[in-house]
Structures are given as structure tokens and as C-alpha cells.
Amino acid sequence: MRIEIKKFGDVLVSRQAGREAYAAFLPTLKNIKEGESVLVDFSNVCVLSPSWADEFLTPLLERFGDNLKLIPSQNSSVKLTIKTIEEILKKDFQMWDQNEKPKSY
């Protein structure tokens, strides 16, 4: 499954908005098969704050573990936010290698 973060907006800054985005997306997550790759795509996101990302990405990481893969972004806001969340959680997100075929995708 591919999650296009831009569907939630291009300026993603509040903890409450991140919580609401995750809650809205929960029904879709129920369709993901065990072992399936979950790709997170930050294309066309201008601003991503650590608070929004924490509310949306942390539960995904807890639920899908190494099956959660972030598509690398050149956006400095996204890169710094991911780094910040990794430091807080003391866990690295898996980055998707474009040569890798996602499982069940």
C-alpha cells in the first residue's frame, strides 16, 4: 500500500491535525495484509512538522515495523522532521529503495 501524505494537505503542522489524519486513515489500514509493505510518499508536501509526523507516523511504525518504508524526499522540512522523530523514538525508519519491489504492492 502507498500512502500519499499530500492527501492530508501540503502544510502539515499541528499535533491535532496529525491525530485526525491518522484517525481518518485507520479504516484503510484494516485492508493491509500481514507482511505487506506500507510505503509513505511525501511528494508535494511543503511543510511537515515533528508534531504532525509523530501523531501520524509513530503509530504506523508501531503497527507495521520494518514493513513501513518511507520514500526518500529531497524536501528539507520532511528530512529534518524524520530525523527528529527518529532521535526521539531512538529508532530509524526504513527508507524505500526504488530497486526493491514492495511486498504485496
Contact 59, 89 (CB under 8 A): no
Q: Tens of pLDDT along 62-88?
A: 999 999 999 999 999 999 999 999 999
Contact 13, 52 (CB under 8 A): yes
Q: Tens of pLDDT along 9-58?
A: 999 999 999 999 999 999 999 999 989 999 999 999 999 999 999 999 99
